[in-house]
Structures are given as C-alpha cells and as structure tokens.
Amino acid sequence: MRYSVIFLVCGVLLASCGSKKHVMGSNTGNIPDAEKGISVSELVQTINSKRIAEPAISAKINLSLNAGVNSARVGGSLKMKRNDVIQISLVALGLMEVGRLELTPDYMMVVDRVNHQYVKSSYADVDFLNKAGIDFYTFQSLFWDELFVLNGKGEAPTDNQYSFKVATDGIQLQNSKSNSVALTFLVNAANMLVGETGFFRAGSEIPVLKWKYSEWAKLGEQSFPGSMKISFALDRNSVEALFKISNVKPDSSWETRTEINKNRYSEISLQAAFQRILRLAE
C-alpha cells in the first residue's frame, strides 16, 4: 500500500543526518549593495527579531514525498507548541489519518495507522544525532524557520557563535561548534529570513541535508514559510519531502501527546523502520 511511504517521513528526520550525498542546490538571488555592509551582529539581531512570537500554532499541509521510484502525496496538518512538541498528521482522501510524526524533547515517534505499527526512540538512540548534538530543539528551529546552534536548547543564538560572508547567492552565516556537524544558513536578502539551512559533515563541503524555505506569509507581526523543501540522499537515492503549508494560525486547542493503544499497535525497532525506508527507496 502506497501510504506505507509514511515511514520515509521518519527517514527524513532520523536517517537524513547520517547520509553522505549532495542532493539539491539553491538560489536566493543577489544581495543588494546596501546589504553588503551589514555586520554579523546586525544580521543575527535582525533574524532573531523575526522569530515567531506565538507559543503554539496549527496549519494545513500538503506533503509530496519522493524516494527513488516511490512517491506519495497526502494532506494533513502541522501543529507545534514551542519547547514542547511538533506533530505532523497525514490524512488520505481528507478522511483517514494514515500516519503521525511526533517530536518532543524526550522522544521521536512515528505512528503508521495503516499497518498498526509505531516507532518510538530517544535522540540518544541515533548515534549520529547524539554525537552531533541534534535534538528536539534542532528540529523545532528547522520547522519554525529560525537561526540556531546545536545544543542550543531553543534559545536565540548570539552573534559570536557565527562567522559570515556575502556570497553570490545570499548572505551566509556559519556555525561549526560541533565536532561532527557544521551549519550554514543562507539568508534571504528580500526579507532577511533564513532561506536555507544546510548540515555539513565537519571538513566537508558537501551538505548531508538541506532545508529550504520560501513563500512566506504573515503570522501576526512575523512571517511563516508557506513552503519547506527537505532534501538529502538515502543510500543511492535522492529523497525529497516538500511541505506546502497554509492556514497558519495561533492555536493551542489540541492534544500535545499521542496515546498508543498497545493492544492494537505493535512497536517496531528503529533499525526495522530504517530497513523499510531503504526498501521503499530502492
């Protein structure tokens, strides 16, 4: 059943940081001359000032997922509560939830409603995430489109944590405090928001993961991206997840934790889920 591709969402978040190949390029346009004199301190302060103030939001999503010869398109919802939870619910035909992804500070969980299975794991269980300091707060900043540092615990970063340069395709901020991962943020010159975040293995110029943003819309006094494209390489195949996001609004009237009926659902290991991802990507 094609909706089993839901497990590739788990792959995007759990396996991608361990992959090794470049997938996508990017272009945010040329930087105006007026921006070339900006200091790293001014740049970081400007980006931080655009962080979303709402503590909880909900939105509708349409997800297009491609991995090798496999693809799926489903609708659903994105719900986030700052420093607490990220939930992605995927719905087939507008009627039935086929899968759910839930990230909290303590665990990552993927629920496969079609096959009545689920994966629940701590970040420490994934060796690369553990070594690199990639945790819930990393994913939180990625989904909220924020500047961050690894092991930052969700706090707004400071200018002394970055180096920066003006490139032909944008203003680049770089952070390489981790022994395993270096981060590069490409700032969109038009709105001074993060247009792309790249993860690089230390000493490598080839990104293992790119998270690209576009189509921002107003959310209160700030802006939220209407499009997020996540791309990486899994084994020998390109994987791309494209989130189209709409109807973003402040919302805290939802359950922040998913309860699993263990009489109906069986838990599978992270390794078993990863093997399924590899099979689907072939």
How many structural domains compose the chain? 1
Percent of the chain with pLDDT over 90: 44
What residues make up the domain containing 158?
A: 2-281
Whether 22 shows a pLDDT value over 80: the answer reads: no
pLDDT for the residue 19: 37
- Angstrom distances, CA of residue 28 to CA of 31, 186, 187, 195, 218: 9, 8, 8, 7, 19
pLDDT digit string, tens, across residues 62-102: 998 887 777 778 899 999 999 999 999 988 877 788 889 99
Side chain identity at 167, as an amino acid letter? A
pLDDT digit string, tens, across residues 109-125: 988 888 899 989 898 88
Cβ atoms of residues 9 and 79 within 8 Å: no
SS3 229: strand
Where helices occur in the chain by DSSP H, the ranges are: 7-14, 40-49, 127-132, 136-144, 270-281
Cβ atoms of residues 175 and 186 within 8 Å: no
Domain containing residue 181: CATH number: 2.50.20.10
- Angstrom distances, CA of residue 31 to CA of 27, 42, 47, 161, 172: 11, 16, 16, 23, 11
| DSSP state for residue 179 in the 8-state scheme | S
> What confidence tier does 16 reach under pLDDT thresholds 50, 70, 90?
very low
When pLDDT is averaged across residues 178-198 and rounded to a whole number, the result is 87
> What confidence tier does 130 reach under pLDDT thresholds 50, 70, 90?
confident
State the residue for tokens 């978040």. 13
pLDDT digit string, tens, across residues 235-265: 666 778 899 999 999 999 999 999 999 999 9
Cβ atoms of residues 75 and 91 within 8 Å: yes
Structure pTM?
0.85
pLDDT for the residue 33: 40
**Cα–Cα dist 80/100, whole Å:** 13
